[in-house]
């Protein structure tokens, strides 16, 4: 008769272990999913930002001397606000929260590493399940490329990735305003003559017609 309580206690203990294990496995799996989704969302959001800036540049060729250098001189790893918001939204959608998001520039592209944790602690514990995932964003064609080990964007022209100081872009220098002695009284000293479409070199026109093509994949 003494065996019955002992067996019952063993079964209860086994059930508790199974319950805790199942809870930990379930939360860990969801946290891994939230990390994967968060890193891919960050990469996708960054891609949307670049596409938006490129399309604005294409639609306003008269602003090319100002907009193109700004795009090519931007430090990509500083553009974190929108990717972070997108990562947090996807982490939350998968029962997790974003602990951190790191954007790293590499020679192969930009890497977005998201660290997430489960919203609720593990059953019977005060700790949370955590997971880390990295998505890499690369170009798969089009007018843009990564230069400076991935820190900046470049234009893919003449079989190479060029920056804002490349001599190929010399023809895009903004026209300077006339000196004060020849400027008309009504002219603004801070304004420069806009660039017309006819003033854009033909090879650059060809680049502007192209659309950036990205690929975002999870890195093992």
Is 164 contained in some domain?
A: no
Structural domain count, the chain: 1
Residue with tokens 């093992």: 220
SS3 per-residue string spanning 114-138: EEEEECCCCCCCCCCCEEEEEEEEE
Q: How confident is the model at residue 109 (pLDDT cuts 50, 70, 90)?
A: confident
Burial tier of 197 (Cβ tally within 10 Å: 0-12, 13-18, 19+):
exposed
User: Residue 62's domain spans which residues?
Assistant: 15-139+215-219
Query: pLDDT digits over 173-201, tens only?
Result: 554 333 444 444 444 444 444 455 667 78
Is 3 contained in some domain?
A: no
Q: Reading across the β-sheet that carries 130-139, which strands appear in turn? A: 96-106, 109-118, 130-139, 214-219
Query: pLDDT digits over 42-53, tens only?
Result: 999 999 999 999
Is 120 contained in some domain?
A: yes
Query: pLDDT digits over 66-75, tens only?
Result: 889 999 999 9
Is 70 contained in some domain?
A: yes
Is 88 contained in some domain?
A: yes
Query: Residue 163 corresponds to which tokens in the numbers above?
Result: 């920056």
Number of other CB atoms surrounding residue 124 within 10 Å = 10
Residue with tokens 């951190």: 100
Q: How many residues does the chain have?
A: 220
Beta-ladder partners of 102? 113
Is 196 contained in some domain?
A: no
- The end-to-end CA distance of the chain, in Å, is 55
Query: pLDDT digits over 161-177, tens only?
Result: 999 888 877 766 554 33
Is 192 contained in some domain?
A: no
Is 193 contained in some domain?
A: no
């Amino acid at each position: 008769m003494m065996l019955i309580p002992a067996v019952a206690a063993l079964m209860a203990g086994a059930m508790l272990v199974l319950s805790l294990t199942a809870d930990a496995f379930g939360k860990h799996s969801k946290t891994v999913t939230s990390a994967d989704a968060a890193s891919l969302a960050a990469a996708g959001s960054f891609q949307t930002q670049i596409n938006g800036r490129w399309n604005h540049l294409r639609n306003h060729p008269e602003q090319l001397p100002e907009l193109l250098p700004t795009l090519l001189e931007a430090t990509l790893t500083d553009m974190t606000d929108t990717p972070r918001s997108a990562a947090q939204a996807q982490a939350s959608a998968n029962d997790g929260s974003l602990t951190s998001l790191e954007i790293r520039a590499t020679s192969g592209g930009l890497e977005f590493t998201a660290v997430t944790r489960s919203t609720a602690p593990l059953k019977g514990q005060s700790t949370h399940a955590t997971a880390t995932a990295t998505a890499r964003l690369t170009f798969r064609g089009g007018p843009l490329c990564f230069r400076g080990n991935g820190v900046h964007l470049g234009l893919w022209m003449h079989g190479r990735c060029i920056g804002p100081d490349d001599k190929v872009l010399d023809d895009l220098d903004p026209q300077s305003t006339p000196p004060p002695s020849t400027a008309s009284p009504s002219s603004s000293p801070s304004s420069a003559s806009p660039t017309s479409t006819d003033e854009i070199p033909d090879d650059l026109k060809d680049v502007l017609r192209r659309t950036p093509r990205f690929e975002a994949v999870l890195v093992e």
